[in-house]
A and B are shown apart, each in its own frame.
Chain A
Amino acid sequence: MIPLNFEYYRPETLADTVDIFDKLDAEGKQPMYYGGGTEIISMGRMSNLTTGALIDLKEIADCKVLEYQQEQLVIGSSVTLTQIHETNLFPLLSQAGARIADHTIQNKITLGGNLCGTIIYKETVLPLLLSDSQVFIAGPGGQRTVPINSVFKERMQLGKGEFVAQIKVDKKYVSCPYVHVKQTKQDKITYPLVSICTMAVSGGIRAAFSGVCGFPFRSIAMEEELNDRSRSMEQRIDKAIDLTPGPILADLEGSMEYRKFIIKGLLNSIINQLEE
């Protein structure tokens, strides 16, 4: 039950979406884009939401795409985690998504919503960072397609009125060897203690993390250490862990020391698997 009152719009084209955003914004309604709504409804119920209007992106044709276009896999932002999982066109993304929330909620969570939400985990971004994906963004200023590694800095850096319409992944990454692990405090259905996505590409191992710092990230510096085969495995991992882009979390899921212990163990087994 959401105490707040707001209006609801469901446009069907990118152009209409931008137009309606502009109009509602001009009316002072602080419009918000609406994907699966799982976060918006939860926040609304707790009265943590201030918006006068929601713009539902789920009927926009461009945002519903899920197919190969030439050498790129195109995933619309309204595609749900379940659709990604059931079609399994990008196995690493499909696996990472299949560990978010629970199966029923995955029927509702959209890729765009997970990438752009306030939750600190955003676990679907990890495979996208590793695969140098492109983000197709639409907004009042027009449309742009940018590398995710430049537009995702701790969170998606969007301008006012901008929204994610599509994600594009080069085919070559889709079939790279990968390992995904999500370790939790105790339960299967819960936030990560640590979530790691890794991929073996020609240049070595790539790794992206969630639940380690207050935001999901891929760190080139850490990857360099991890790939430094001149050192012992323990040294590679220790060096890498020293380079996290922010302090390692200590929260309800676990202490910082325990997280470190878990990350080390996981990286050890992941690297062994990928370097076999």
Chain B
Amino acid sequence: MTSIAIGKDIIRKEAWDKVTGRALYNADYASPGLMHGVLVTSTCAHGLIKSMDYSEAQQMPGVKAILTGDYHPMLTGPVIEDRPPLARDKVRYYGEPVALVIANSKAEAAAAASKIKIQYENLPTVDKPSAAMSKEAPLVHEHIDQYRHVIPEVYPQANSNIVHQVKIRKGDMNKGWQASEVTVEGEFFLPQADHIAMETRNTRAEILPSGDIIVHSSSQAPFGVRKLISQHFGVDLGKVVVNVPLVGGGYGGKAPIQMEFLAVMASQAVGGRPVLIANTREQDISASPSKLSLEAKVKLGASRDGILQAGEYTFIVGTGAYADSGPRMTGSMASNCTGPYKLDNVWCDAYCVYTNHTYATAYRGFGHTSFTFAVERAMDKLAAALNLDPVELRRKNLIKAGDTSPSQVILTPSRLGDVAQCLDKVEKLINWSEGSRVEIDNNRIRAKGVACLWKTSDSPTDAIAAAIVAFNSDGSINLNVGAVEIGPATKTTLAQILAEKMKMDVNRVHVEMEVNTRVSPHHWKTVASMSTYMVGRAVEEAAKDAINQIISLAAIAMKCSPEDLALGQEQVYLKDDPNIYIDLAHIAHGYKYPGGNTIGSQVIGRGTYVMPHLSSLDRENGKGKPGPYWTPGAQAVEVELNLADYTYKILRAATVLDAGKVINPKSAKGVVMGGMSMGLGLGSRESFIYDQEQELQNTSLRSYKVLRIGEQPEYLVDWVETPNANAPFGARGIGEHGIVAIHAALVNALSRAAQVELDQVPVIPELIWQKREEEKA
């Protein structure tokens, strides 16, 4: 059957609002009387707050309140409660919020903030994940064992910086090593980096005389905000209302809750009046959470014929000064540690540790970008040791249905998809057979690199979604869901799913772009590439519910049995004679008989969804089911390296994902290319740079560099479509996956071009130069 809306390049619903400047983001709603909060952040990476003098600031014009850590002491965190919204007694990273000034205008608040004098007594710092593991390491948190656990499966170790540990024990390592005729080992480092959503995080809050707390925030998790505000401020859940309009990019960075606590505290301090707190770019980079850092060791063993026999992985995950979702990401990394390869003997120790750096949170790929780099670089080393073509080695070892994941989930075609097809296609896209290293002239080398990936959701086991489908009297639909529109056209995709189910024009499906937690049905969070899947399932359910209502009512109106009827093009018609029909508009708000009597009323469909059979990872062997399915893929990059100065151009970058079903090809391609662009940024230029004192050096876009136009390669994207039996139309999530292995492919290409082992990112020309010099020496 030809589809109406699925597989079509539907233009996003809010497209014209976005190109006319009329689309509104959170900070675009100005109101007279809005007050402004400005943060004062720590200039010390680890220290005791000796004194804070805000006497001068207090006297400044327009200043209404100055808050410090003592104002509303609390500890927050999604996994373990370790973070005060404003530092108390001590600071743990450069950029940590220490005070908040609230004034009539932003200029007045900022002027006062610059007058606050804070003295710190410096403490020794923890500068990298491996240093955090040492017995002599300074403690970032002295009482790690006393923090409240939000989820039971988190295992902090007292008197250490280790906040969580995950173990994977699968198969028999001794057997694996014995069967390994060739082994390779590598150590890899991926530094912290930033999300750089173009809209910096901002929140407005007010407390009404009724006690309702109204929050407006640029958040990926409105329902999470509501829950935690309710909990930490002791207000009934329903009395907290969180509104989220369009969001200017998130990539995971707007899933954690930080500004919201501060804004509510600020409003509290000024009698409930509305207060806006908006990060400057510098604060967004240094004060708000970032991407984790990783030090990884990977050891692979294979038989002479290139079949993997054993894999040993040690991940030391730097979560920065606070845990946030670091422990969850550590689990996610461990449970997928092999990458999409069949390995019967797997040993993985993953530690999540504190450092004196900006704390980390979810970042597109949820830890997968980091460990995948290590795995895919190790695969290239193994290929070299075996004298095998890197694509060939991968092909020999790709995981298939019937194999098990590191956390021992039995894989089926529906759960896993077809990574072999992805690799075949990417190999052709990048034209691998023409040669993976070609000398163009004396100075220029062209080289290619390839890498594979997989990722599942790693969501909480009780994450839910819901949808409400309410009919208008003209037969059109209002779709209301709790997912936030952060960019990937989620809401339009959901409208496509609904239109297809209702067999109607997608233009007749109206989607509410904003989320209001009092009006919108629940959705866990807009993260993990799971919205199309989870909310899509809820939309399907709601459509089914609505169709039932419509058909039953039509059956009465048309004096026939519901079984005789079908719905399409906004008509309910007789299956055996479509010329006999009733317009949906005549049923959507009840059916009115010719005399005026009416039966039925507004058709409102509801649907809900929870992912079945997820389980947490076992503490001793990591057994558990971290997500409902995987999205696998393969990526490749071609570079041209100039040996005169080690500058390089990224010529082409290719990705093939098993998307299950591509619902909106152009949107999907755009999202994947966007992910690739970010990943190439991480591979080539992006990282946090700390000085000796662990002060972050590159807090602005002047010094924190992202790709600009003209620096991008030619992008090639293609799909494999192995349906996921549980998903709407078989669709797998693809929102994150473009980023996951692309930097690995890039660095594989660069290592091949420069003939040095590049085992860290970002690869800047100076790094290649340095490695070549070391090689010479």
Contact = CB atoms under 8 A, between A and B. Distances in A.
Interface of A: 1-4, 47, 183, 185-191, 252, 254-255, 258, 261-262, 265, 269
Contact of B710 (A2, A188, A252): A188
Contacts of A187: 685, 705, 708, 711
A252 B766 contact: no
Contacts of B689: 252
A186 B765 contact: yes
Q: Sort A-B residue pairs by CB-CB distance and give the 6 closest, nearest first.
A: A3-B111, A3-B110, A47-B114, A258-B766, A187-B705, A186-B685
A183 B645 contact: yes
Nearest to B278: A1
A3 B40 CA distance: 14
24 contacts: A1-B110, A2-B107, A3-B107, A3-B108, A3-B111, A183-B645, A183-B647, A185-B685, A185-B766, A186-B647, A186-B705, A186-B762, A187-B685, A190-B702, A190-B705, A252-B689, A252-B697, A252-B698, A252-B703, A254-B766, A258-B769, A261-B645, A261-B769, A265-B645
Interface in B688-703: 689, 697-698, 702-703
Contacts of B108: 3
A267 to B, nearest CB: 12
Contact of B111 (A4, A188, A191, A254): A4
A96 to B, nearest CB: 19
B772 to A, nearest CB: 10
B444 to A, nearest CB: 14
B-side interface mostly: loop
Given A1-B107, A186-B684, A186-B685, 14 more contacts: A2-B107, A3-B111, A4-B111, A47-B110, A47-B114, A183-B647, A185-B764, A186-B764, A188-B711, A191-B702, A261-B645, A261-B769, A262-B645, A265-B645
A47 B111 CA distance: 8
Interface in B648-685: 684-685
A255 B711 contact: no
Contacts of A1: 106-107, 110
B1 interface: no
A113 B697 CA distance: 26
Interface string B686-726: 00010000000110001101001011000000000000000
B344 to A, nearest CB: 42
Interface in B749-777: 762, 764-766, 769-770
Interface of B: 106-108, 110-111, 114, 644-645, 647, 684-685, 689, 697-698, 702-703, 705, 708, 710-711, 762, 764-766, 769-770
A2 B111 CA distance: 9
Kindly name the residue among A187, A188, A255 whose own CB sees the greatest number of chain B CB atoms within 10 A.
A187
Contacts of B769: 258, 261
Nearest to A47: B114
Contacts of A47: 110-111, 114
A3 B110 CA distance: 6
A109 B645 CA distance: 31
A255 B703 CA distance: 16
A189 B766 contact: no
Nearest to A48: B114
A-side interface mostly: loop
A188 B708 contact: yes
A186 B645 CA distance: 11
A150 B110 CA distance: 42
B612 to A, nearest CB: 47
A38 B474 CA distance: 55
B684 A258 contact: no
A258 B773 CA distance: 10
A186 B686 CA distance: 10
A1 B644 CA distance: 44
A164 B703 CA distance: 30
A252 B687 CA distance: 12
Kindly name the residue among B110, B697, B770 whose own CB sees the greatest number of chain A CB atoms within 10 A.
B110
Contact of A3 (B114, B644, B684, B770): B114
A261 B698 CA distance: 25
A265 B644 contact: yes
A117 B482 CA distance: 50
A121 to B, nearest CB: 12
A258 B708 contact: no
Nearest to B282: A46
Contacts of B766: 185, 254-255, 258
Contacts of B106: 1
A4 to B, nearest CB: 7
A189 B706 CA distance: 10
A188 B106 CA distance: 34
Contacts of B764: 185-186
A40 B697 CA distance: 21
A257 to B, nearest CB: 8
A261 B773 CA distance: 11
A34 to B, nearest CB: 19
A271 B766 CA distance: 23
A41 to B, nearest CB: 13
Contacts of A186: 647, 684-685, 705, 762, 764-765
A183 B769 CA distance: 15
A270 B282 CA distance: 39
Contacts of A4: 111
A45 B356 CA distance: 27
A188 B769 CA distance: 19
Contacts of B705: 186-187, 190
Contacts of B708: 187-189
A132 B347 CA distance: 69
A188 B703 CA distance: 12
Given A3-B107, A252-B689, A265-B644, A185 B114 contact: no
B113 to A, nearest CB: 8
A255 B702 CA distance: 19
Contacts of A269: 644
A111 to B, nearest CB: 21
B637 to A, nearest CB: 16
B238 to A, nearest CB: 37
A93 B257 CA distance: 50
A252 B698 CA distance: 9
A262 B110 CA distance: 42
A1 B106 CA distance: 8
Contacts of A185: 685, 764-766
Contacts of B111: 3-4, 47
Kindly name the residue among B111, B698, B711, B765 whose own CB sees the greatest number of chain A CB atoms within 10 A.
B765
Nearest to B707: A187
A8 to B, nearest CB: 15
A7 to B, nearest CB: 15
A191 B765 CA distance: 15
Contacts of A191: 702
A258 B114 contact: no
Contacts of A258: 766, 769-770
A51 B668 CA distance: 52
Contacts of B711: 187-188
Contacts of A189: 708
Contacts of A262: 645
Kindly name the residue among A2, A186, A265 whose own CB sees the greatest number of chain B CB atoms within 10 A.
A186
Contacts of A190: 702, 705
A214 to B, nearest CB: 17
Contacts of A265: 644-645
A63 to B, nearest CB: 28
Contacts of B107: 1-3
Contacts of A261: 645, 769
Contacts of B644: 265, 269
Contacts of A188: 708, 710-711
A254 B697 CA distance: 14
Nearest to A254: B766
A186 B687 CA distance: 13
B9 to A, nearest CB: 32
A74 B765 CA distance: 40
A183 B646 CA distance: 12
